[in-house]
């Protein structure tokens, strides 16, 4: 299993024995997929009574991260407890899940974590987190309903009980160089689908300027772009139940053919491809956009916030677009919880950790961090979207509109509700690897789709979801 394109059974199922292979999510029947436990020499967070142990994601802006840590430190000081605070990789393919599994099972549970792209389904199925329904209920009573466009309950509520607390509500930013479109007489309102935007990206490309700023490489941005493209053509990982793999379909093959054409260095669209775009990580499109080298991309609002903060000339030419519609015209509008707070099973300071969660949601603290995080740190609760906040940044209204959608798109799990099976597919990089096989010429689109489908079937069946 040394082939980088192979799914590792060990990497998927480590930790299953500790919870029992028959443990399932009541709402969907999904078993507890997990990642590798950490290597023996990896440091683990160790909880202890009287010492508040906090793990948090890294923030794009150092000032916002410092404000977060200062807020947590002030809370610990007010309670007279020692603070142990550290950072984690916020991506689902990082080592967070494995480390937390080992820590909880060893009886060394930390108290509190603030993360982003970690699977709440997996945390729940592995019995790693406490019930925090009381905290969410109190937050809603104080700050209003959770924004409907976030799909929060579908992601973190099981049998009516919350296993994570929403902190941030956000959406993906879609950007275009408005000046370049104007030069070519292209009306942004006409750019409805990813196909429309690809043609526009080619049209605005020129010497030392590349229209296409989307990477297919394994990264948060790469996965988001690829699954959105597959779904735009009507493809999906599973059926509506989330239990049956449906990746191998004519729709998915059409999406892969689109991607093959797009990244063909000898084809029609070669002129719009930046050097090295196939291997960018999550900073690649940030750097290229801020350098004024690309015309379209999708990203968290970090590139928007940084260009504004630094008075980068690209800022005045940045055009925010709505999410592209599916090829058939269906809406893809919606948002997601951009930051979750969790409390770990066996936490020696669980009551204190719950107080910390509410302390971070207090507008006196939340708004101070949000002001430094610009459009990256935005509310998950209706009443925290104050007129003062919206007035601070005109484009916050665009984010609020996306997270306030009453019938939002389900995201990567569509047409199923968010679930651990899809989270496991993402964590293993199956989609990115399969697209890489197409772009490199190792496989045809149809063969790559079949190969990825089989990997997903193997993953599900090894996790206890037998396929028809």
- 389-398 pLDDT, tens digit per residue, is 888 887 788 8
Could you say which of 3.40.190.10, 3.40.50.2000, 2.60.120.650, 3.40.1160.10 is the CATH number of the domain covering 9-171+335-412?
Answer: 3.40.190.10
pLDDT in tens, 311-336: 999 999 999 888 899 999 998 888 88
Phi-psi region of 61 (alpha: psi -120 to 50; beta: other; left: phi over 0): beta
Give the chain's length.
468
Question: What are the angstrom distances between the C-alpha of 286 and each of 40, 172, 203, 290?
Answer: 35, 14, 22, 6
pLDDT category of residue 79 using cuts at 50, 70 and 90 = very high
**In the chain, where are the structural domains located?**
9-171+335-412
pLDDT in tens, 183-237: 999 999 999 999 999 999 999 999 999 999 999 999 888 999 999 999 999 999 9
Closest by Cα among 148, 56, 3, 111 to 339: 56
Report pLDDT for 89: 66
d(Cα 406, Cα 167) in Å, to the nearest integer?
19
At residue 48, the pLDDT reads 78
Residue 367 to residue 360: CA distance in whole angstroms? 10
Structure tokens at 384: 């925290």
The 10 Å Cβ neighbour count of residue 61 is: 18
What is the per-residue pLDDT across 281-322, written as a single tens digit (0 to 9) for each?
Answer: 888 898 999 999 999 999 878 888 889 888 999 999 999 888
* 3-state secondary structure at position 436: helix
In the predicted structure, residue 60 carries a pLDDT above the cut 50: yes
22 has pLDDT over 80: no
Of 20-29, 251-260, 451-460, which range is least confident?
Answer: 20-29
Tens digits of residue pLDDT in 83-130: 999 887 655 456 788 888 888 998 989 999 999 878 898 899 889 999
- Average pLDDT over the chain reads 87
Cβ atoms of 383 and 141 within 8 Å: the answer is no
Question: Which of 57-66, 125-134, 408-417 shows the highest mean pLDDT?
Answer: 125-134
Residue 421 has pLDDT above 60, yes or no: yes
């Amino acid at each position: 299993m040394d082939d980088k394109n192979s799914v590792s059974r060990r990497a998927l199922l480590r930790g299953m024995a500790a919870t029992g292979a028959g443990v399932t999510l009541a709402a969907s029947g999904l078993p507890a997929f997990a990642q590798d436990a950490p290597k023996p020499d990896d440091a683990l967070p160790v909880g202890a009574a009287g010492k508040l142990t906090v793990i948090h994601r890294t923030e794009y802006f150092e000032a916002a991260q410092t404000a977060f840590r200062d807020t947590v430190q002030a809370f610990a000081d007010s309670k007279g407890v020692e603070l142990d605070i550290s950072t984690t990789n916020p991506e689902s393919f990082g080592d967070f899940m494995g480390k937390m599994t080992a820590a909880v099972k060893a009886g060394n549970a930390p108290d509190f974590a603030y993360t982003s792209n970690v699977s709440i389904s997996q945390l729940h199925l592995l019995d790693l987190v406490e019930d925090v329904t009381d905290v969410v209920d109190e937050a809603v009573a104080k700050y209003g309903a959770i924004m409907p466009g976030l799909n929060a309950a579908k992601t973190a509520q099981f049998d009516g009980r919350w296993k994570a607390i929403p902190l941030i509500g956000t959406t993906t930013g879609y950007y275009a160089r408005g000046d370049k479109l104007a030069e070519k007489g292209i009306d942004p309102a006409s750019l409805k689908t990813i196909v429309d935007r690809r043609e526009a990206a080619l049209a605005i490309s020129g010497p030392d300027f590349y229209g296409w700023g989307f990477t297919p490489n394994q990264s948060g941005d790469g996965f988001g772009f690829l699954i959105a493209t597959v779904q735009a053509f009507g493809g999906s990982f599973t059926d509506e139940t989330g239990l049956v793999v449906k990746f191998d379909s004519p729709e998915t093959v059409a999406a892969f053919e689109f991607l093959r054409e797009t990244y063909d260095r000898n084809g029609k669209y070669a002129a719009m491809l930046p050097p090295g775009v196939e291997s960018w990580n999550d900073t690649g499109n940030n750097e290229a956009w801020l350098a004024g080298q690309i015309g379209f991309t999708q990203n968290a609002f970090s590139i928007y916030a940084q260009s504004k903060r630094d008075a980068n000339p690209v800022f005045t030419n940045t055009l925010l677009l709505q999410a592209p519609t599916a090829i058939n015209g269906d809406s893809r509008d919606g948002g997601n919880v951009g930051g979750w707070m969790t409390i770990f099973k066996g936490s020696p300071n669980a009551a204190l950790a719950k107080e910390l969660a509410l302390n971070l949601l207090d507008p006196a603290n939340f708004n101070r961090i949000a002001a430094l995080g610009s459009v990256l740190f935005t509310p998950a609760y209706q009443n925290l979207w104050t007129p003062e906040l919206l007035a601070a940044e005109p484009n916050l209204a665009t984010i609020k509109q996306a997270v306030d959608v009453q019938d939002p798109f389900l995201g990567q799990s569509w047409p199923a509700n968010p679930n651990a099976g899809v989270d496991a597919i993402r964590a293993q990089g199956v989609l990115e690897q399969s697209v890489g096989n197409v772009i490199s010429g190792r496989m045809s689109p149809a063969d790559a789709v079949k190969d990825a489908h089989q990997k997903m079937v193997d993953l599900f069946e090894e996790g206890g979801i037998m396929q028809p």
